[in-house]
């Protein structure tokens, strides 16, 4: 019987490279089950990196050199209501708070069957990128994401399990995405 290997931060680097996407990477076999996300990786991710529109990271399996997952990050800012600011102890007279946004995140289906926790590892990695920015370059209090519920409402549960909550000001039941945030210091 096959058993899924749980990817933890401490063992992830044993199985994978976490690297920036360059033209040297071969990603043609990647399939997360959604053509929109596959095509973004095949056709748009490199161009977006070159144009400084989105910065893409790959998780590549060491044993096979295959792309298991990718994530694109961009800078962001979110508007919080008074009560949302109180929730995060952010007593400032302005609404807009800086953030790092997960613009795209997808895991190859074959790899999700082989390993558990790849998506979570990428979120943890985004958090580490934000911490590095905060320690050295510029501020980002939150991780943000527009959770894509058009194809799978379950992504809300995935992000909730990873510490995200919906943004009240942008919450709208008819949307195809739900704007969510994670306070990386709470």
Ligand X SMILES: CC(C)(COP(=O)(O)OP(=O)(O)OC[C@H]1O[C@@H](n2cnc3c(N)ncnc32)[C@H](O)[C@@H]1OP(=O)(O)O)[C@@H](O)C(=O)NCCC(=O)NCCS
**Contact positions toward ligand X, by CB under 6 A?**
32-34, 37, 105-107, 112, 116-120, 145, 147-148, 151-152, 154-155, 157-158, 161
Residue 59: CB minimum distance to ligand X, A: 10
Residue carrying structure tokens 């709208």: 172
Backbone angles phi, psi at 20, to 5 degrees: -75, 145
Task: Give Cβ neighbours of residue 56 (< 8 Å, ≥ 6 apart).
Answer: 20, 21, 41, 45, 46, 48, 49, 70, 71, 72, 73, 104
Residue with Cβ nearer ligand X (84 or 108): 108
* Residue in the shown chain whose Cβ atom is closest to ligand X: 154
Residue with Cβ nearer ligand X (101 or 141): 101
Q: What is the DSSP letter of 74?
A: E
Residue 155: CB minimum distance to ligand X, A: 5
Residue with Cβ nearer ligand X (66 or 85): 66
Tokens representing residue 99 in the block: 């953030």
């Amino acid at each position: 019987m096959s058993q899924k290997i749980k990817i933890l931060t401490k063992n992830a680097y044993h199985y994978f490279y976490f690297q920036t996407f360059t033209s040297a990477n071969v990603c043609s076999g990647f399939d997360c089950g959604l053509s929109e996300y596959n095509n973004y990786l095949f056709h748009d991710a490199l161009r977006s990196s070159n144009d400084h529109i989105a910065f893409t990271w790959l998780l590549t399996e060491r044993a096979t050199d295959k792309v298991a997952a990718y994530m694109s990050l961009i800078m962001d800012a979110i508007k919080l209501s008074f009560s949302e600011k109180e929730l995060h102890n952010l007593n400032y007279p302005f609404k807009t708070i800086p953030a790092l946004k997960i613009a795209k995140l997808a895991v190859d289906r074959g790899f999700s069957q082989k390993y558990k926790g790849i998506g979570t590892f990428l979120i943890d990695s985004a958090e580490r990128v934000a911490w590095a920015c905060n320690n050295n370059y510029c501020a980002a209090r939150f991780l943000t994401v527009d959770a894509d519920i058009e194809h799978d409402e379950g992504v809300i549960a995935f992000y909730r399990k990873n510490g995200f909550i919906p943004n009240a000001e942008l919450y709208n039941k008819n949307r195809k995405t739900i704007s969510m945030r994670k306070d990386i210091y709470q």
